[in-house]
């Protein structure tokens, strides 16, 4: 089963977009666990010293690789130094155990503590950076259970209740071995749940976003508009639409080329977003036309916002884009029964007046 979950994780690694990080290292971790299990099963065929170092080092490396995978998933810098340090400590412990004193309990305590540190670190990452979603709660529960089992084994080793070898009988040893085999599979399932959730979020974002500028597309804007209408119905808050068009954009494309024109569009989108609040919505409706939905904003307040957008674009001139200006039409929706098409038509009427009046200005409908 561990080998099967390795294949599942590796398949996801090859299939999921680059936005979902960590799957490759998780699959390597599962592969290491599979190799460790095979080594332990092949005990009679392998010299004891080789088996001791190979099986335990791959098992410790597996837990470290899973931590690296989780760190990459959450966009954190991977702690390769941590994995290397834990591996060195583990190998030194094995040398001491094999050469000086074959104290099985001490070996179990050291490796339980080292492995526990990897799982606790993953749990902390999940608590601090994980999405508040069922997938995170599920994976977090598995990490907590695994950490508690390792903590139990650590205390049992310190109290001398783990026997004298892996083959020793006993309640603690039995619980650990049973749980370890089960959790090997469940940890892979848990990581796949948060990876699948991340994939869903990424695909939804892509389907709702303009690929060039990163702002909303028509589909994403329509969803945002319907949410704002629902707020208007519940709380009576006004909202205002800005229709923004880049002046003489065709001349920019003709003079500088479409690559520069694309940079102008990206520049305009990012500068507009930076001039707004987080609760406002910006969308590209094709070509050089952008739409801004201002939540809880009256027409008078929207005029000040339109002026702020134009001022931000003026201040951000220079660099690798030519100078440009925008014209803005303003229309405020006071009643929730007005359709988006009607509201946009009124904003476009204001935009046409701004164009007719000389461009580089804003006009209310």
Query: Is the separation of the CB atoms in 25 and 66 below 8 Å?
Result: yes
SS (H, E, C) 31-92: HHHHHHHHHHHCHHHCCHHHHHHHHHHHHHHHHHHHHHHHHHHCCCCCCHHHHHHHHHHHHH
Q: Is beta strand 326-333 parallel, antiparallel or unpaired with respect to 239-246?
A: antiparallel
- CA-based end-to-end distance of the chain: 66
Strand partners of residue 291: 243, 283
Query: Is the separation of the CB atoms in 282 and 215 below 8 Å?
Result: yes
Which positions are annotated as active-site residues? 288
In the three-class reduction of DSSP (H, G, I as helix; E, B as strand; rest coil), residue 170 is classed as coil
Neighbours of 272 (CB within 10 A): 23
């Amino acid at each position: 089963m561990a080998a099967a979950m390795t294949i599942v994780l590796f398949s996801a690694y090859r299939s999921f977009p680059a936005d979902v990080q960590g799957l490759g290292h998780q699959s390597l971790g599962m592969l290491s666990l599979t190799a460790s299990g095979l080594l332990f099963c092949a005990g009679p065929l392998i010299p004891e010293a080789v088996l001791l170092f190979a099986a335990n080092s791959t098992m410790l490396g597996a837990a470290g690789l899973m931590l690296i995978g989780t760190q990459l998933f959450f966009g954190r810098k991977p702690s390769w130094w941590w994995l290397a340090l834990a591996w060195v400590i583990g190998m030194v412990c094995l040398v001491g155990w094999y050469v000086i004193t074959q104290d099985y309990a001490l070996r179990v305590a050291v490796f339980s503590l080292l492995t526990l540190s990897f799982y606790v670190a993953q749990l902390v990452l999940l608590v601090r950076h994980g999405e508040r979603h069922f997938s995170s709660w599920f994976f977090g529960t598995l990490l907590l259970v695994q950490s508690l089992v390792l903590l139990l084994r650590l205390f049992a080793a310190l109290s001398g209740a783990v026997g004298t070898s892996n083959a020793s009988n006993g309640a603690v040893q039995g619980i650990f071995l049973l749980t370890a085999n089960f959790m090997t599979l469940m940890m892979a399932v848990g990581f796949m749940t948060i990876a699948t959730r991340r994939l869903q979020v990424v695909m939804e974002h892509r389907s709702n976003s303009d690929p060039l500028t990163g702002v909303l597309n028509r589909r994403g804007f329509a969803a945002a508009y319907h949410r704002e209408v629902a707020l208007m119905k519940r709380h009576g808050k006004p909202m205002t639409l800005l229709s923004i068009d880049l002046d003489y954009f065709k001349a920019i494309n003709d003079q500088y080329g479409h690559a520069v024109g694309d940079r102008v569009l990206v520049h305009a989108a990012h500068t507009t977003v930076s001039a707004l609040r987080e609760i406002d919505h910006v969308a590209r409706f094709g070509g050089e036309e952008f739409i801004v939905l201002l939540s809880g904003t009256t027409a008078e307040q929207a005029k000040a916002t339109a002026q702020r957008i134009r001022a931000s674009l003026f201040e951000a001139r220079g660099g690798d884009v030519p100078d440009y200006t925008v014209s803005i039409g303003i229309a405020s929706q006071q009643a929730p029964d007005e359709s988006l098409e009607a509201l946009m038509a009124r904003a476009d009427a204001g935009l046409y007046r701004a164009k007719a009046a000389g461009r580089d200005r804003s006009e209310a409908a």
